[in-house]
Structure 1
């Protein structure tokens, strides 16, 4: 027989009894470990939880300024999807965000915190305009291909600044990529206010590109173009590469 009750256990050091509930809060009682296998429903739950947390934070900020979260979310929805025109415009605005997000997602999968996707996008824009400014008289298909290639090269070169600092000096890629966003923005502002500024306006902008350099539009009277379809196909391609190929396995293994 023993006088130990079911709610009491012997302390690890043998010195007295402790309540199991109190032991849950002792130093070292908890340990966070990375899952060896993440199932699809785990990712879905994490996504939903992140969205709910974001909504809760936004609602809290709206309440702080004395406004109604319900009215704010209703205005947000109506502005983005309130009618057919606003829905199409939302898809137009989403196109570069999808492509930029895919670029950042690949880096995140490799364990690299690239917060400079915005700056790399601006670098790509500068590469596009450089091609048009230098060889704008080329046939449209060739010009479009060159613009695409130079945009990719410009974005990669700008990202290599942060990666070079990381490899050579061990600098934190989060800090460098964030700060480089502002650097490229100031460079672009200088070019738009100086060498690249249109002589027909006082605004910081270039001359309008020829219509032949624009992607065809889905619907007449809207700005939705085939770039949105390209973005969706790119998302499927990235998913397939990350999940179904040897390269994707290596990227996930690094991360």
Structure 2
């Protein structure tokens, strides 16, 4: 008696590409519906893994190409749009190897995966940092100036750790903040170091907003991270602003009453 459908399914679920090729040939005459479904499922799983591997390798290749093989620091911002909490800018200098599985625009990565990837980035990176601009400074100077300040601080922090990047890869449009600057529109989905900066900044800022949620529980910062959810807006209308709100972002919801 041959293997059961369940046994075949388990083997297919665990098979790599080479093992699948052998299994597929051995099962070509097996017409059981469960076997055919398991073979197709395994084929799709391996195709998705191959596509993901190519996407990841493409991010590293893109970075090497645009920087001419020079040492780069990738930078990205998180928290440009929230009503509360700081602006965060991440900066990461990655080695050529090892490649970090799952690197992508932080918005495209599930929260639990972001935390895993952020931890691996911190372990693998030559250096990394997250710099913050507080809400009061955003109110005082505006977002464009705040972004420039945060990016400059991040570059300085990287260099203070003894790493001298030859290229500064910046997500988004030109800011003309550094002679080494190269801009990559939607770079967090194209370039490995920018994606790493995006994820580290997102994880660090989210953790900070969860800490703020303990101090200011009325606003549910652990859930909304300072963004304008319906519940957050309702809390502002009922409670007024708290010390980490960006007053200049909240005129539509409050008469600027502070506590």
TM norm structure 2 = 0.26
Name whichever structure is richer in strand by fraction.
2
Name which one, 1 or 2, has greater alpha-carbon Rg: 1
Which protein has greater RCO, CA pairs closer than 8 Å, 6+ apart?
Answer: 2
Higher share of residues assigned helix: 1
